[in-house]
Structures are given as C-alpha cells and as structure tokens.
Structure 1
C-alpha cells in the first residue's frame, strides 16, 4: 500500500455571480488544486480568488483547461485535433499563469477538464500533443493524466506526467472513469474507501471487475454538493491508515 499521495480537487468553477463549489473550505483540505481557466467555467475574478486561497493555504496550483462549453460545463464531447487540443490547453494555462504571477504564485501542473480529459485518455495523439506542448512551452510543469496505459507510455518517454485516480467517480470495464454531467452528493465513506483502494493498487468497476491502478494523485470534484465532507472523510481515513499527503510535485519526485 502506498503511504505517500497527493489529494487534488477541481476548483474555481464559479462564473460571475453564479456560485459553484465551496473553494474557501475545500482548498485547505487538499494538497493540489486545479483551477478552471474560463472556457468551461471560471472568470478572471473567480480565478484570482482561487489562486489567492491556494497561495495562502500553501496548496499547489494547477491549471484546469477545458472545452469552450460554458453551458455544458465542458463535459460534452467536442471534436478537436491533437494540435487544437494542445493549443487550447496552452491558451488557458497562459491566462491562469498571468493571474498567478500577479499574486506572487506559480503554476506547477496542468490537468485537462471533463470531456477534454476524456479525449486525452482515449486518443494517444491528443495526450502526446498536450504533453509535448507543455514540455516545450513550460518545462517543469507536470501534466496530469488518468493512471493507465497512455500515462505510462508518456512517462516512459521521460515526460513529466502525473498519474491520477479518482475517489468520487466510478470506473467502467475498460478502466476509464464515468464522467457525470451533473454530480450528485456521494457517500463520503464510500469515496474514502475507494481512495484507500487506489493506494492498495486496485479499484472495482461498476460491473465488479478488479482494475489495477497505480496513481500519484487522487481527485475529488469541487462541484459535488458534499465535496468538503468527502475531502474530510478521505483525510481522516488516510490519517488512520498512516498515509501522508504531499504536493503533486513531491509525490512525483519520490516516484522518480
């Protein structure tokens, strides 16, 4: 069982006066945060507030670029070529990077959001284009991908890939996550159980099939109504199991 892991959450997903998630309570509970960059959610003021919360809480900051789909919250599939996907991620990363710099903070990782994340999981060429783009434009910035064959192949080539698993999403028979368009409240204990299962190297699909998983970071979703309670349950369970939480960079460096 792994005893060192990063716990990350998606945040900064409000838009103007429309509020989603509880960043002020959630961000201090995780070690890395993925901040929406304006295409699927977020706006300059929201991005700024989330960066400040993360900076003040010493939470590692990451960019969370998605498809240009505010109505669908970036969870509807769109068609993008590998080059288009890479440029979309770079563009949104640049926006958050400027805001972070204004607040004296730095961006340590990038994690595609929603359906764009799913596209990178299922299309090797998309994942490769995104990883290569950041290796050239922002050396040292890690790219978060679903733990599995695509992430392993890119890591073996020397790219700074972080392997991710999920505490609050189900897995299908192929080992892919099942994206929920509108997340509902979920049992915090069940999510904590799945997080510990990840550390033990295996999750169970919705059909009951064991799926091997080797992850550096575990994600929970900030737009889930009880995300704070889930984060608290995971932290409590990790403490009882002797698991130490650390930043994404520290965990990835320890693996290396």
Structure 2
C-alpha cells in the first residue's frame, strides 16, 4: 500500500502525493486551467498530466531531485544550476501564452499595502521595510513581457545528472518580467545566481535584487497567516535583512 503524503495544505489549495502521483486540489479552478495550458505550451521539461476531475488534477512525478529548499544550502552542482538557467532562457524566449500577467500598477499597489501592514503591525522594523521598498524601485519599471513560470521556487525545478528533468507547479504562468523568475529561483540562494546566469545569459542584478525584496515583502503576511515562518534562517526575512 502506498502512503498518502501531504505535500502542502492550506485554505487555498492542497497537494497530496501517492507513490508517483501528485493530486492537486484547488479552490480556484482557473489555477488548474492555467497549469494545464501552460504545461501544454511550455517548450521545457514538464510533468505529465494524468487526469483532471474538478476540483482535482493528477500529475505524474518528475524524475530527479529539486535544486534545493529555501533556508538550506542547495545540493545541486553549479552545472545543474547552469542547466536550469539554459532551460529557463528557452522558456522566456518562447511565444507568449495567450493570457496576460499582472500589471505594474497592481504590483506597486500590493507592495505599498504590504509594506504598510508590516510597519503598522510591527512585524519588521520600519527602517528595514523602508530600505527594501527603496531597493524594490529598480524592478518597478516597464518590461518586455516573456513567457514566465510565475512561481519558480527552488523546489519547483528538478535535475538529474546536471540536466533539468522537469519544472512543476505552473498555475501562475503568464506573460511577465523574466527577471521575476530568476529572482524567485535564487531567493535566499544568492550564491547560486552566477551559476544560473552561466546558462541563462546576462541579466540586470539590481533588478533581480529588487524582485527579491518585492517577493519577500509581499509574501510575508500570507506566509504568517497560513502557518509558515518567513523568519526561519535563510528565508524571506533574512533576504530582507541582507539588503541593509
């Protein structure tokens, strides 16, 4: 008998694993719609979709190991990180998906709202929030949209023998700033950025750092309200402190 493993569970969605099958249950079915279409369009290694029956989607496990987890050193080699960079470049160079992504005005509004919440609730020192809000400005500019994954966390890219075997969790794929993906993947793993860019190619480091600040500032409240701790070593609050 295969055991049921709870991969993640909160009020928005849950992911269960049984053997080599992942079952995703989402309160918003549009997320599953995006995931299915993005997997079909993305010219990179993706998991096989086994079946869908609302509100669930079953996906086959991909081989290999994730590049790492937030808050711990990555076990992957520099060559594996470079391979990930090359595959992400292929995604960003692909034709755009037919649906739009987030607009700049909405990102700015969310950022200012979350900064205000962090300060007014004394979650973080005001000077720390203010400094990261200043750093964030570099990313708040017009960009040429690319096909982005949208939630390219380090746990979502799998490799084996220094080759990418799969990229998972595509529900936030859209048109967007390609540097958001690079920042998401290297959040808390700044030391891996040169290896990633060895495969991806040149990128503006100030903008990547700005997206680190934005992701950390905007995610903090959600993490706290859903039982996660952004203050664990190497996680979002440490990313913010590194900008001081």
TM norm structure 2:
0.30
Larger radius of gyration: 2
